[in-house]
Chain A
Amino acid sequence: MKEDNHGYWIDQMRRISENRDEDAFVALFQHFAPRMKSFLMRSGSDNALAEEIVQDVMTTVWRKAHLFNPTRASVSTWIYTIARNRRVDLIRRQKRPEPEDLPWGPEQEPDQTDLIGLQQESEQLGVALSALPEKQRILIEKAYFGDLSHGEIAAETGLPLGTIKSRIRLALDRLRHAMS
Chain B
Amino acid sequence: MIKHHLTEDLLMAYSAGALSEAFSLAVATHISLCDECRAAAESYDAVGGAVMVSTDAAPVSDSCLSNTLAAIREADTETPAPRLTDTVLPSPLAEYVGGGVDKIKWKSAGMGVKQAILPTNDDAVARLLYIPAGAAVPDHGHGGLELTCVLQGAFRDEDMRFARGDIEVATEEVDHTPIADISEDCICLAVTDAPLKFKGWLPRLAQPFLGI
Interface residues in chain A, defined as those with a beta carbon under 8 Å from any beta carbon in chain B: 22, 25-26, 29-30, 32-39, 41-42, 50-51, 54-55, 58-60, 62-67, 72-74, 76-81, 83-85, 87-88, 92-102, 121-122, 125-126, 129-130, 140-141, 143-145, 147-150, 165, 168-169, 172, 175-176, 179
Contact = CB atoms under 8 A, between A and B. Distances in A.
B212 interface: no
Given A37-B60, A144-B16, A63 B47 contact: no
Given A29-B65, A66-B77, A140-B47, A129 B17 contact: no
Contacts, number: 192
Interface stretch (B5-13, B103-111, B167-175, B179-187): B5-13
B51 interface: yes
Interface of B: 8-9, 12-13, 15-18, 20-21, 24-25, 27-29, 31-32, 38, 41-43, 45-61, 64-65, 67-69, 71-72, 75-79, 83, 85, 90-92, 95-96, 120-121, 123
Contacts of B123: 94
A118 to B, nearest CB: 9
Given A33-B64, A55-B67, A98-B28, A144 B47 contact: yes
Given A122-B46, A129-B54, A96 B65 contact: no
